[in-house]
Each structure stands twice: as C-alpha cells, then as structure tokens.
Amino acid sequence: MSTPSGNAIDITLATDPAGPVEGGEAVSAAKAGGNPAAGSKKNIFDLDRVSLEDFFEQVLGEKRYRAHQVMKWIHHRYVTDFDQMTDLGKALRAKLHEHAEVRAPMVIHEKPSADGTIKWLIGMDPKNAIEAVFIPEKNRGTLCVSSQVGCALNCQFCSTATQGFNRNLTTAEVIGQVWIAARQLGNLPHQQRRLTNVVMMGMGEPLMNFDNVVRAMSIMRDDLGYGLANKRVTLSTAGMVPMIDKLGQVSDVSLAVSLHAANDELRTELVPLNKKYPIEELMAACQRYVTRKPRSSITFEYTLMKGVNDQPVHARQLARLMRQFDNATQMKDAAKVNLIPFNPFPGTRFERSAEEDIRAFQKLLQEARVLTTVRRTRGDDIDAACGQLKGQVMDRTRRQAEFRKTLEAAGAGDAAA
C-alpha cells in the first residue's frame, strides 16, 4: 500500500492548460467547500434525513418534519440560501443562519466529451480536487462518483493509485458531486430524471470511507434526496471483506466487486489487497451479501489487460468461479461479469486487450452460461474512462511525465527517474 504522501497540490496554481471550458466555473480554491476543518456551523450537506431531523429537534428545537422541507429545497430545487426557502418562517431562517450552512464543493472545471459524457473537476479544499463523470445512455444517465482523494490500495493498473492516498471525502463532498451534476443537468427528482443511476466507481475505495459513503448513499436513495432505487446505486469495491459484511447490515445497494483475476497469484499481483482478503474469503463475503436479498446479483468487474489476464485459460478460471458462486448461492445468475477493456494512462506498463481477445473472452464466459457484458469506453477523449480519474494531481503527473520525456530526450533520463 502506498502511504499518504505529498500529493496534495495547491489547486489555485494547477489549472488545466486548456483553461475552463464554456459553462465551467473557475473558482477561488480558497472558497472550495467541504473542508472538514472549515467553519463551526453544521453543513447540511453532511446530514441524511435522520441526522437532519435530529439536528432540527436537538439543536434548533424545531419539529422534525421541518427537515424535510429543507432537504427538498436543497436536493430537488438546488436552493442553498435559507432566505430563498420561502415556506420556512423568518425566525427559523434566522436560527438556520446561526447554526447551519449549505456548502457544496466547488466546480473548478467542467469538461464535456464528444460523446455526451461530462467530467467535472471539483475542489474540496485548497489542496484537494477530485473528479466525477456523467455518462448519458439511451435509457439512463449514470454518474460516477469519487469517495476519496486518491486511493491507498495501489491496484497496479489504476491511475488513481499512482497519486497515493490523501484523505477521505466527507458526506457533503460525496453527495455534493451528485448535487452538482443533478443541478447542471436540470434533473428534477420524481419528474424529469436525467440522472438515473449512481456508481461509486470514481476515485478511491468507498468501503474505506464507510460512514460518509453510506450516509451519502442514503441521501441518493431517499425520496427527499434523489429518489434512486437501491438497484440504481452501485458501490464498487476492490474487496474489503469485513466492510462488505458491514454494508450488508445497513444497506441494500447493488454491489460490484473488482476481481480482475480468478486465481490468487495473479490477483495479488494486480490488486495487492488480495493478499489480505484472498478470493475464497471474498467470494464467501459476496455470497453472504447476495443471499440477504433474494433476486439480486453481484457484478464482478474484470479489467482486460493484454497478455496479463485475457487468455482463454483466465476466462475458464473465471467461468468456473462464477458457476461456483451461482451454485453456492443457489441462485441463477447471482454472478454477472462486466468486462472492462483496460484504459491506458501515462506511465502505465499495461495495454488494452485486442478486440478479438475481448470477444473470445466474453464468448467463453457466455458458453459457460455466465451473464457477461463488455463496458464500452465512454469519454476517453477527456480522460474520463474507468481508472483514468486522477483529480487535480493528474495534470501534475502528466507534467512530470512530459518533463521526464524531455529530459530523456536530452540524454538525462536516469537523473529524472
């Protein structure tokens, strides 16, 4: 695992060379919200329904249902100024001003892709920025949300890993990404839904930021929040076994598990966390999760890397593991496989599998009656595809890579390494 290191940079200095695009909002990093240390007022974005009701009752001495009005203003109408919440009395508004604030993270940069995908660079505090990505499809719109600044898990093929781990996001910073996207898309919960799905598949390992992620997901699913059904909120994990069990106790969201190899030797190489929680333990935890909720399934993500894990022998190992899972759970199609062609990033040693190998891999799984889809890359012209999200540090890494190339060209490669 990598350790927290000097990855934080001053986002006021690190602007994208292309500059903010039209519709983007350049902001002062000093104003960026969500910093846990900032201000003593309660940030209402940090509270789900129950904790906001408690706050109204215990701190403001108000009726619990008042919390519902405030939630609707914020998450349905995108109003953050108490004075515009016209169905609250003057006295209550004054009390809210005194004890609370509604502080979303700030959009630093918004980048639309040719295929309709939108990527936001969002400032969390003067040192940290993350990315969120919206992917429109015919019948749904999916937002990919980050849970941490950086990641500590060090999966070998993921660009987020190269920046190390900086810190967990607060609840406000997680739900703030949904709020920013929903507001920008003109999403009207319960009426016109452009944002229909959320996947916790951005930067970070969501189960290592358990409480904040669970609270944010509760707002996503709440009718007073974004009203998304459980199956439309997906948490993706690299395999934090004890936390999968804990999640099963408090939530029924869809679970995706990043497998990438069906034997321990290869998986440990790709996902170092496998050393701690090997495949057998992981599959047992998945079984416990899925059997709590009849008719559900778990998606196993499998990033295909040329010559590494994309050969017929790997497909057969995976098919066997998936069939075993269906048998163990006594449920048909309890395991689904989502193949992700590897998305390259500067400095990686991996390559995307050839198209015919991807097809052959899928075919072998389908012949073994394993439901298998291939995740087609979206937004790769804006580096918004799986494993390419790096927040603000990405630009710095790029600059470093370019710097190194320049030095190498000048015959000083070793000195730069």
Residues of the binding site: 151, 155, 158, 204-205, 236, 258-260, 343
Chain length of the chain: 417
How far apart are alpha carbons 346 and 237 in whole angstroms?
Answer: 24
Q: How far is CA 318 from CA 280, 296, 337, 366, in A?
A: 13, 20, 9, 11
Is 48 strand, coil or helix?
Answer: coil
Interface mask toward ligand SAH for 184-213; x: CB under 6 A: -----------------x---x--------
Distance CA 172, CA 191 (A): 24
Contacts of ligand SAH in 139-168 (CB under 6 A): 155, 157-158
CA 13 to chain centroid: 25
Burial zone of 149 (CB within 10 Å; 0-12 exposed, 13-18 middle, 19+ buried): buried
Least separation in angstroms between CB 14 and ligand SAH: 22
Nearest-angstrom CA–CA distance, 122 and 142: 18
- Of 244 and 340, nearer to ligand SAH (C-beta) is 340
Q: Is residue 11 a contact point for ligand SAH (CB under 6 A)?
A: no
* Nearer to ligand SAH (CB atom), residue 51 or residue 156: 156
Residue (52 or 216) nearer to ligand SAH, CB = 216
Best CA proximity match to 212, nearest among 171, 160, 263, 153: 171
238 is a contact residue toward ligand SAH (CB under 6 A): yes
DSSP assignment of 120-169, as one string?
Answer: EEEEEETTEEEEEEEEE-SS-EEEE---EEE-SS--TT-TGGGG-EEEEP
Among 9, 386, 393, 394, binds ligand SAH (CB under 6 A): 386
The nearest distance, CB 337 to ligand SAH, in angstroms, is 12
The span from the CA of 76 to the CA of 319, in Å, is 43
Which helix (H) or strand (E) covers residue 199, if one does? strand 197-200
131 is a catalytic site residue: yes
Residue numbering of the annotated binding site for [4Fe-4S] cluster: 151, 155, 158
DSSP β-ladder status, 128-136 and 141-144? antiparallel
Check binding of 237 to ligand SAH (CB under 6 A): yes
Q: Which of 166, 236, 362, 392 binds ligand SAH (CB under 6 A)?
A: 236
CB of 108 to ligand SAH, least distance (A): 21
Q: Is 303 in the site for ligand SAH (CB under 6 A)?
A: yes
Which tokens hold the place of 181? 């996207």
144 is catalytic: no
Q: How far is the CB of 367 from ligand SAH (least distance, A)?
A: 24
Residue 96 vs 155, nearer CB to ligand SAH: 155
Smallest gap from Cβ 340 to ligand SAH, in A, equals 4
Q: Which of 62, 131, 173, 301 is catalytic?
A: 131
Residue 149 Cβ, how far from ligand SAH at the closest point, in Å?
A: 13
Partners of 101 in beta bridges: 43
Tell me the residue number closest to ligand SAH, measured at CB.
387
- Segment 324-383, which members bind ligand SAH (CB under 6 A)? 340, 342-343
Q: Are 198 and 234 in contact (CB under 8 A)?
A: yes
- Answer for which of 62, 173, 222, 301 binds ligand SAH (CB under 6 A) is 301
The catalytic site residues sit at 131, 386
Return residues touching ligand SAH (CB under 6 A).
155, 157-158, 201, 205, 236-238, 258, 301, 303, 340, 342-343, 386-387
